Chains A and B, each alone.
Chain A
Protein backbone atom coordinates (compact mmCIF):
# COMPACT_ATOMS: atom_id res chain seq x y z
CA UNK A 1 0.00 0.00 0.00
CA UNK A 2 1.26 3.45 -0.82
CA UNK A 3 2.31 5.36 2.27
CA UNK A 4 0.38 8.60 2.19
CA UNK A 5 3.20 10.42 3.97
CA UNK A 6 5.45 9.65 1.00
CA UNK A 7 3.25 11.75 -1.26
CA UNK A 8 4.15 15.03 0.39
CA UNK A 9 7.47 16.47 -0.77
CA UNK A 10 9.27 19.64 0.21
CA UNK A 11 9.79 22.72 -1.91
CA UNK A 12 13.13 21.54 -3.30
CA UNK A 13 11.08 19.16 -5.46
CA UNK A 14 9.85 22.12 -7.53
CA UNK A 15 13.23 23.81 -8.00
CA UNK A 16 13.40 22.74 -11.65
CA UNK A 17 9.77 23.56 -12.36
CA UNK A 18 10.13 27.07 -10.92
CA UNK A 19 13.32 27.68 -12.88
CA UNK A 20 11.40 26.89 -16.05
CA UNK A 21 8.68 29.36 -15.14
CA UNK A 22 10.64 32.14 -13.46
CA UNK A 23 14.08 31.58 -15.03
CA UNK A 24 15.87 32.51 -11.80
CA UNK A 25 16.80 30.48 -8.72
CA UNK A 26 13.58 30.37 -6.71
CA UNK A 27 14.09 27.97 -3.81
CA UNK A 28 15.21 30.84 -1.55
CA UNK A 29 12.34 33.10 -2.63
CA UNK A 30 9.90 33.91 0.19
CA UNK A 31 6.16 33.71 -0.33
CA UNK A 32 3.41 35.15 1.85
CA UNK A 33 0.39 32.88 2.21
CA UNK A 34 -2.76 34.74 1.13
CA UNK A 35 -4.78 32.66 3.56
CA UNK A 36 -2.89 32.80 6.88
CA UNK A 37 -0.14 35.36 6.21
CA UNK A 38 2.73 33.03 7.04
CA UNK A 39 5.96 33.78 5.19
CA UNK A 40 7.93 30.74 4.06
CA UNK A 41 10.89 30.11 1.81
CA UNK A 42 9.96 28.06 -1.25
CA UNK A 43 12.26 25.29 0.02
CA UNK A 44 9.98 24.84 3.04
CA UNK A 45 6.58 24.64 1.36
CA UNK A 46 4.60 21.39 0.95
CA UNK A 47 4.44 19.94 -2.54
CA UNK A 48 2.15 17.32 -4.09
CA UNK A 49 3.27 16.16 -7.52
CA UNK A 50 1.33 12.87 -7.82
CA UNK A 51 -1.67 14.66 -9.23
CA UNK A 52 -2.88 16.07 -12.57
CA UNK A 53 -0.70 19.09 -11.77
CA UNK A 54 1.70 20.28 -9.11
CA UNK A 55 0.04 21.59 -5.95
CA UNK A 56 2.02 23.74 -3.51
CA UNK A 57 0.58 24.23 -0.01
CA UNK A 58 1.40 26.44 2.94
CA UNK A 59 3.26 24.46 5.63
CA UNK A 60 1.43 26.48 8.32
CA UNK A 61 -2.22 26.22 7.21
CA UNK A 62 -2.20 23.68 4.30
CA UNK A 63 -4.07 26.08 2.00
CA UNK A 64 -3.07 26.08 -1.68
CA UNK A 65 -0.28 28.53 -2.54
CA UNK A 66 0.25 27.57 -6.17
CA UNK A 67 -1.11 25.20 -8.79
CA UNK A 68 0.92 24.48 -11.90
CA UNK A 69 -0.45 22.50 -14.82
CA UNK A 70 1.85 21.61 -17.71
CA UNK A 71 0.48 20.13 -20.92
CA UNK A 72 0.24 20.58 -24.68
CA UNK A 73 3.44 22.67 -24.48
CA UNK A 74 1.84 25.24 -22.18
CA UNK A 75 1.88 26.14 -18.49
CA UNK A 76 -1.07 27.25 -16.40
CA UNK A 77 0.06 28.85 -13.15
CA UNK A 78 -2.33 29.86 -10.38
CA UNK A 79 -0.75 31.99 -7.66
CA UNK A 80 -3.83 33.44 -6.01
CA UNK A 81 -2.72 31.72 -2.79
CA UNK A 82 0.53 33.74 -2.70
CA UNK A 83 -0.03 37.33 -1.61
CA UNK A 84 3.57 38.42 -2.16
CA UNK A 85 6.66 36.75 -3.59
CA UNK A 86 10.04 38.18 -2.59
CA UNK A 87 13.26 37.11 -4.29
CA UNK A 88 16.74 38.40 -5.06
CA UNK A 89 17.68 39.80 -8.45
CA UNK A 90 19.87 37.42 -10.42
Chain B
Protein backbone atom coordinates (compact mmCIF):
# COMPACT_ATOMS: atom_id res chain seq x y z
CA UNK B 1 0.00 0.00 0.00
CA UNK B 2 2.76 2.38 0.92
CA UNK B 3 4.55 1.77 -2.39
CA UNK B 4 1.32 2.37 -4.26
CA UNK B 5 0.89 5.67 -2.48
CA UNK B 6 4.42 6.67 -3.31
CA UNK B 7 3.94 5.97 -7.01
CA UNK B 8 0.70 7.91 -7.02
CA UNK B 9 2.53 10.92 -5.76
CA UNK B 10 0.11 13.40 -4.37
CA UNK B 11 -2.18 10.93 -2.60
CA UNK B 12 -1.40 11.33 1.07
CA UNK B 13 -3.21 12.03 4.29
CA UNK B 14 -2.54 15.70 3.86
CA UNK B 15 -4.13 16.03 0.45
CA UNK B 16 -7.14 13.75 0.87
CA UNK B 17 -10.65 14.24 2.10
CA UNK B 18 -11.98 17.62 1.04
CA UNK B 19 -14.39 18.71 3.71
CA UNK B 20 -16.35 21.79 2.79
CA UNK B 21 -17.22 23.95 5.75
CA UNK B 22 -19.83 26.29 4.39
CA UNK B 23 -20.64 27.81 7.79
CA UNK B 24 -17.17 29.27 7.94
CA UNK B 25 -16.85 30.21 4.26
CA UNK B 26 -16.37 33.86 5.15
CA UNK B 27 -13.20 32.78 6.93
CA UNK B 28 -11.94 30.59 4.10
CA UNK B 29 -10.11 32.35 1.24
CA UNK B 30 -10.98 31.56 -2.39
CA UNK B 31 -9.80 28.16 -3.64
CA UNK B 32 -9.20 26.78 -0.13
CA UNK B 33 -10.92 23.96 1.79
CA UNK B 34 -11.00 23.35 5.54
CA UNK B 35 -9.15 20.47 7.16
CA UNK B 36 -9.35 19.29 10.75
CA UNK B 37 -6.05 17.40 10.75
CA UNK B 38 -2.71 19.18 10.42
CA UNK B 39 -0.97 18.19 7.17
CA UNK B 40 2.82 18.03 7.28
CA UNK B 41 4.64 19.66 4.38
CA UNK B 42 8.39 19.63 4.06
CA UNK B 43 10.94 20.54 1.43
CA UNK B 44 13.69 18.50 3.02
CA UNK B 45 14.83 16.38 5.94
CA UNK B 46 13.61 17.46 9.38
CA UNK B 47 16.43 19.20 11.26
CA UNK B 48 17.02 17.90 14.78
CA UNK B 49 18.11 20.85 16.88
CA UNK B 50 18.94 20.58 20.54
CA UNK B 51 17.59 23.63 22.36
CA UNK B 52 20.93 24.31 24.05
CA UNK B 53 22.37 24.79 20.56
CA UNK B 54 19.46 26.92 19.37
CA UNK B 55 19.61 30.70 19.04
CA UNK B 56 17.37 33.31 17.43
CA UNK B 57 18.92 36.32 15.69
CA UNK B 58 17.92 39.62 14.15
CA UNK B 59 20.62 40.79 11.78
CA UNK B 60 21.20 42.71 8.57
CA UNK B 61 20.18 46.38 8.54
CA UNK B 62 20.55 46.85 12.28
CA UNK B 63 23.33 48.62 14.18
CA UNK B 64 23.54 46.07 16.96
CA UNK B 65 22.44 42.61 15.84
CA UNK B 66 20.33 40.85 18.46
CA UNK B 67 20.64 37.24 19.51
CA UNK B 68 18.82 35.17 22.11
CA UNK B 69 19.72 31.76 23.46
CA UNK B 70 16.91 29.29 24.13
CA UNK B 71 16.92 30.26 27.82
CA UNK B 72 16.85 33.99 27.04
CA UNK B 73 14.09 33.48 24.48
CA UNK B 74 11.97 31.55 26.97
CA UNK B 75 12.26 34.49 29.39
CA UNK B 76 10.70 36.94 26.91
CA UNK B 77 7.05 37.97 27.35
CA UNK B 78 4.79 35.50 25.53
CA UNK B 79 1.49 35.77 23.73
CA UNK B 80 -1.03 33.03 22.99
CA UNK B 81 -2.88 33.65 19.73
CA UNK B 82 -5.63 31.80 17.90
CA UNK B 83 -5.42 32.15 14.11
CA UNK B 84 -6.69 30.63 10.88
CA UNK B 85 -3.89 29.35 8.64
CA UNK B 86 -3.97 28.92 4.87
CA UNK B 87 -1.56 26.67 2.96
CA UNK B 88 -0.94 27.38 -0.73
CA UNK B 89 -1.62 23.67 -1.42
CA UNK B 90 -5.23 24.69 -0.71
CA UNK B 91 -5.95 23.48 2.82
CA UNK B 92 -6.96 25.91 5.55
CA UNK B 93 -7.10 25.12 9.25
CA UNK B 94 -9.24 27.29 11.50
CA UNK B 95 -8.64 28.39 15.11
CA UNK B 96 -5.10 27.12 15.50
CA UNK B 97 -3.61 28.06 18.86
CA UNK B 98 0.02 29.11 19.22
CA UNK B 99 2.23 30.39 22.01
CA UNK B 100 5.37 32.37 21.42
CA UNK B 101 6.93 35.79 21.23
CA UNK B 102 5.56 38.64 19.13
CA UNK B 103 7.98 39.99 16.52
CA UNK B 104 7.08 43.41 17.97
CA UNK B 105 8.73 42.33 21.23
CA UNK B 106 11.86 41.18 19.41
CA UNK B 107 12.00 44.40 17.36
CA UNK B 108 11.35 46.75 20.26
CA UNK B 109 13.59 49.81 19.96
CA UNK B 110 15.19 48.66 16.69
CA UNK B 111 15.83 51.42 14.20
CA UNK B 112 16.34 50.18 10.69
CA UNK B 113 16.35 51.40 7.11
CA UNK B 114 15.04 47.98 6.04
CA UNK B 115 11.70 47.59 4.30
CA UNK B 116 12.01 43.85 3.69
CA UNK B 117 13.02 40.77 5.63
CA UNK B 118 14.26 37.28 4.96
CA UNK B 119 13.14 34.70 7.51
CA UNK B 120 15.74 31.93 7.60
CA UNK B 121 15.75 28.44 9.05
CA UNK B 122 17.84 25.43 9.86
CA UNK B 123 18.18 23.31 6.74
CA UNK B 124 18.62 26.34 4.47
CA UNK B 125 14.98 27.32 3.96
CA UNK B 126 14.26 31.03 3.48
CA UNK B 127 11.19 33.14 2.81
CA UNK B 128 10.83 36.87 2.18
CA UNK B 129 8.24 39.04 3.94
CA UNK B 130 7.94 42.86 3.97
CA UNK B 131 8.89 44.31 7.35
CA UNK B 132 5.45 45.94 7.68
CA UNK B 133 3.90 42.45 7.47
CA UNK B 134 5.76 41.04 10.47
CA UNK B 135 5.38 44.08 12.76
CA UNK B 136 2.20 45.64 14.16
CA UNK B 137 0.87 42.52 15.90
CA UNK B 138 0.96 40.42 12.71
CA UNK B 139 3.69 37.82 13.30
CA UNK B 140 5.09 35.64 16.08
CA UNK B 141 7.99 33.30 16.73
CA UNK B 142 6.20 30.34 18.31
CA UNK B 143 7.22 27.24 20.25
CA UNK B 144 3.88 25.77 21.36
CA UNK B 145 0.95 24.50 19.30
CA UNK B 146 -2.33 23.65 20.99
CA UNK B 147 -0.75 23.88 24.43
CA UNK B 148 2.06 21.43 23.64
CA UNK B 149 5.70 21.91 22.64
CA UNK B 150 5.91 22.28 18.87
CA UNK B 151 6.81 18.93 17.31
CA UNK B 152 9.75 18.72 14.87
CA UNK B 153 7.53 17.82 11.89
CA UNK B 154 5.58 21.04 12.43
CA UNK B 155 8.74 23.12 12.75
CA UNK B 156 9.76 22.56 16.35
CA UNK B 157 11.44 23.61 18.44
CA UNK B 158 10.48 27.02 17.01
CA UNK B 159 8.72 28.20 13.87
CA UNK B 160 7.66 31.52 12.41
CA UNK B 161 3.95 32.42 12.29
CA UNK B 162 2.63 35.07 9.92
CA UNK B 163 -0.93 33.82 9.48
CA UNK B 164 -2.31 36.53 7.17
CA UNK B 165 -0.03 35.24 4.38
CA UNK B 166 0.11 31.75 2.83
CA UNK B 167 1.65 29.34 5.29
CA UNK B 168 4.91 28.78 3.35
CA UNK B 169 5.84 32.21 4.77
CA UNK B 170 5.53 30.76 8.31
CA UNK B 171 8.93 29.10 8.13
CA UNK B 172 9.54 25.95 10.17
CA UNK B 173 12.73 25.54 12.24
CA UNK B 174 13.25 29.30 12.20
CA UNK B 175 16.56 30.75 13.39
CA UNK B 176 16.37 34.41 12.55
CA UNK B 177 15.19 37.49 10.72
CA UNK B 178 17.49 39.31 8.29
CA UNK B 179 16.50 42.96 7.81
CA UNK B 180 17.06 44.12 4.23
CA UNK B 181 16.69 47.29 2.17
CA UNK B 182 15.85 45.30 -0.96
CA UNK B 183 13.55 42.35 -1.47
CA UNK B 184 15.37 39.04 -1.96
CA UNK B 185 13.13 36.17 -3.09
CA UNK B 186 13.22 33.15 -0.77
CA UNK B 187 13.25 29.38 -1.39
CA UNK B 188 9.84 29.18 -3.10
CA UNK B 189 9.56 32.81 -4.15
CA UNK B 190 12.59 32.39 -6.42
CA UNK B 191 10.97 29.49 -8.24
CA UNK B 192 7.41 30.36 -9.22
CA UNK B 193 5.71 31.26 -5.95
CA UNK B 194 4.38 34.74 -5.30
CA UNK B 195 6.61 37.33 -3.63
CA UNK B 196 3.81 38.42 -1.27
CA UNK B 197 1.33 35.51 -0.96
CA UNK B 198 -1.97 37.04 0.18
CA UNK B 199 -4.48 34.15 0.38
CA UNK B 200 -7.47 36.49 0.05
CA UNK B 201 -6.18 37.66 -3.33
CA UNK B 202 -5.04 34.13 -4.29
CA UNK B 203 -1.47 35.28 -4.81
CA UNK B 204 -0.09 31.79 -5.28
CA UNK B 205 2.29 32.09 -8.24
CA UNK B 206 4.36 34.64 -10.13
CA UNK B 207 2.00 36.99 -11.94
CA UNK B 208 -0.99 36.41 -9.62
Contacts and interface: CB of A to CB of B under 8 A. Distances in A.
Interface of A: 1-2, 4, 6-9, 12-13, 16-17, 48-53, 55, 57, 62-64, 67, 69, 71-72, 74, 76-78
Contacts, number: 82
A67 B204 contact: no
Contacts of A64: 44, 124
Greatest chain B CB density within 10 A among A7, A13, A52, A55 is at: A52
A22 B10 CA distance: 20
A17 B9 CA distance: 10
A12 B3 CA distance: 11
Contacts of B6: 9, 13
A50 B44 contact: no
A69 B12 CA distance: 18
A53 B42 CA distance: 10
Greatest chain B CB density within 10 A among A17, A51, A71, A72 is at: A51
Interface in B74-107: 88-89
B33 interface: no
A72 B205 contact: yes
B10 A49 contact: yes
B44 A62 contact: yes
B89 A52 contact: yes
Contacts of A69: 188, 191-193, 205
A51 B43 CA distance: 6
B44 A55 contact: yes
B190 interface: yes
Interface residues of B, number: 35
Greatest chain B CB density within 10 A among A8, A57, A63, A71 is at: A71
B9 A49 contact: yes
Nearest to A49: B9
A8 B44 CA distance: 8
B85 to A, nearest CB: 14
Contacts of A49: 9-10
Contact of A71 (B10, B190, B192): B192
Contacts of B88: 52
B152 A4 contact: yes
B112 interface: no
A77 B42 CA distance: 18
A1 B151 contact: yes
